[in-house]
Amino acid sequence: GGAKALEALMGGSTDVVCGFYDHTIQMAAQGKELRAFVAMLRYPGLVLMSPMIGRIEDLKGKTVGVSAPGSSTHMFLNYLLVAHGMKADDVSNASIGMSATAVGAVTHNKVDAAVMTDPALAIVRKQMPGLHILADTRTAEGVRSVFGVESYPSAVLYSKTEWVEKNRETARLLAGAITK
């Protein structure tokens, strides 16, 4: 996950990670310089959904599944809560992962809502056709609705700025391979 990838980068056990651009912003706020050098997606693809709750404001006091604490799914949830007049601690968070564990958490009613991506979301929708989509960033329209912009960089390759400056050719080749 993104939080573990960031931890590996900051701890020095890897030079480059694939993660959400949000982490570079988070680290900049802490005075740590990271540089994203290739974007892979225009839209985050994150969806806040619930089997029974139809409005974000009605999540107060509920348990919401995110992939892991500090992950982009967690940051997305916190952003949505604040954007809808709530605080991050108005909900309880549960770590549910992103694939089979996330599907199980939702379909077995372990969480009241969850931030998911496809294909796990598609599996849940098939099993629970009445699912409520509370926020959807899989399309330009959805990104515009949630963030007020046409595109939002999500999955990127990033590294410490010093590594990118010392390894410009390697970074260029990695960016080229991803672009192809």
At a CB cut-off of 8 Å and minimum separation 6, what does 51 contact?
Answer: 106, 109, 112, 128, 130, 131, 132
| pLDDT at 68 > cutoff 80 | yes
pLDDT, tens only, 109-154: 999 999 999 999 999 999 999 999 999 999 999 999 999 998 888 8
Q: Is 104 exposed, middle or buried (0-12, 13-18, 19+ CB in 10 A)?
A: middle
Supply the mean pLDDT for the chain: 95
Report the DSSP beta bridge partners of residue 65. Answer: 94, 114
- The three-point CA angle 168-151-131 to 5° equals 125
Q: What pLDDT score does 9 carry?
A: 96
Q: Assign 37 to helix, strand or coil.
A: strand
Residue identified by tokens 């700025």 is 161
| pLDDT at 70 > cutoff 90 | no
Q: Assign 138 to helix, strand or coil.
A: coil
Task: Provide the whole-model pTM.
Answer: 0.86
pLDDT (average), residues 68-91? 95
Q: What pLDDT score does 92 carry?
A: 98
| pLDDT at 2 > cutoff 90 | no
Q: What pLDDT score does 3 carry?
A: 78
Give start and end residues of each alpha helix (H) in 12-160: 22-29, 72-83, 100-107, 120-127, 140-147
Residue identified by tokens 């958490």 is 105
